[in-house]
Amino acid sequence: MLVSDFDYALPEELIAQRPLDDRAAARMLVVDRAAATFADRSFRNFPDYLRPGDCVVVNNSKVFPARLFGKRASGTARIEVLLTRQSDDDPAVWEALVRPGRKVPTGAVIHFDEGLQAEVIGRGEFGERTLRFSGAADLLATLDRIGHVPLPPYIRRPDDTADRAAYQTVYARPPGSVAAPTAGLHFTPEILARVEAAGARLAQITLHVGLGTFQPVHGELVEEHRMHRESYEIPPGAAEAIRGAARVVAVGTTTVRTLEHAARAGPLAAGRGETGIFIYPGFAFRATGALLTNFHLPRSTLLMLVCAFGGRELVLEAYRHAVAARYRFYSYGDCMLLV
C-alpha cells in the first residue's frame, strides 16, 4: 500500500490557527459507512447520534508544557526542545526532539530558565535525543512555569496564555501528552451531560500522546512504517463499561489505538502498558463501533486509521467535501463522526 494513496489537497487557509470561542460550535461531518453518505451537522448534534447502551470512550491525558527554549553555554543560538516521553526508570530522563540537532551532539548541555539544564546522553534512530535534567527540585513544576504549550507546527504562531486552556480537554486529568487528543477538544460540560441523558455511559482511559501519534511516515510503503510506543492505562471501571456496551463510540484516534491494542487478545481488560499498534486499511476492528475524530494531515498514520475504519475511498471523498465546504482543519478545527 502506497503512502501516496492517502493524500489530498488542502488550501492552507483552511488550517485553523485558533480555536473557536465556543468549543461545541464546531461543524461535524457525519459519515454513514453502511450507506456511504455524509451530512453536514454541528458538534452540538453529537448526542443525537447516541443511543442507550452506547459507551463513549475518551482519552483523558493532559497536555503539559513540553516545549522548551534554551541555549548552550558556549553559544547564543536558541535551541528548541520538545519533550516526548519520560523514562520509566528515571523521572529526570526524557526522550526529546531537538532543533537544530546539529548543535546538540551527545554530551552537550542545554541551559534553560530558572537554572534548569539538560545533558544529551543518547541519540535515537529517528534523530531524537535522550536528555538528563538537573537543577530543579521539582522538574514538572519547573516545566509548568517555563515550558510552552506544544502547538503543532501547522499552527504558525507562538503559543499564548489562552492556549493553556484551549489546547486541553475539559476532562483532562493525568499529565503526560505532548499533543492534545484533539477530537475531545469539542466537548463541554453541557455536551457531556447530554451524552449521559441520551442513555450512553462515559468511560475515561489514558494514552499519553507522543511520537507514536504524530511522527511522519517515512518511505513510500505504508507497511514499512513502525510506530513509536506510547503508554496507556485502562481503569477497571472503564474496562467493565466498554465490555458491557452495545456499541463503543471512540473519541479520537488515540482512544481507538488503545482500545484495539487491549482487545487484540480477547475481551478488553483493564491495566497499564505500552502500545505501538499501527492501524491502516485491512485492520480488523474488535472494539470500536463508531469514531469521532478531527481532520488529519495527508499521508499521516492518523488518516490511515480513519480510512481503515471508514473505507479509504469514502473517507477521502468526505475530506474532499469538507475542503469544498470550507471546514476548518486539524487540531483547532472541525470534526467528523463515522457511524
pLDDT of residue 216: 87
Tell me the sheet residues that pair with 68: 81
Q: Give the per-residue pLDDT at 301.
A: 97
pLDDT value at position 336? Answer: 98
Statement: the pTM of the whole predicted model exceeds 0.85: yes
State which H helix or E strand residue 308 sits in.
Answer: helix 301-310
**CA angle (187 as vertex; 11, 34 as ends), nearest 5:** 70
Provide the percentage of residues in the chain whose pLDDT is more than 90.
93
pLDDT tops 90 at residue 23:
yes
pLDDT band at 76 (very low <50, low <70, confident <90, very high): confident
Percent of the chain scoring above 70 in pLDDT = 100
pLDDT of residue 218: 86
Per-residue pLDDT, averaged over 80-90, amounts to 94
Q: What is the pLDDT of residues 211-264, one digit of tens each?
A: 888 888 989 999 999 998 999 999 999 999 999 999 999 999 999 999 999 999
Would you state the pLDDT for residue 29? Answer: 99
Determine the pLDDT at residue 112: 97
117-127 tens-digit pLDDT: 999 999 987 77
Give the mean model confidence (pLDDT) for residues 277-299.
98
Question: Mean pLDDT, to the nearest integer, of 152-167?
Answer: 97
Q: Mark 244-272 as b/e (b = at least 16 C-beta within 10 Å).
A: ebeebbbbbbbbbbbbbbbbeeeebebee
CB atoms within 10 A of CB 85: 22
* pLDDT computed for residue 339 by the predictor: 98
Residue 182: DSSP 8-state: G
Residue 183 pLDDT exceeds 90: yes
How are beta strands 93-99 and 54-59 bridged, if at all? unpaired
Whether 168 has a pLDDT exceeding 80, the answer reads yes
Distance from first CA to last CA of the chain, Å, rounded?
25
Give the CA radius of gyration of the chain. 20
Contacts of 89 (CB under 8 A, 6+ apart): none
How confident is the model over 27-46, as pLDDT tens digits?
A: 999 999 999 999 999 999 99
Per DSSP, the three-state class of 55 is strand
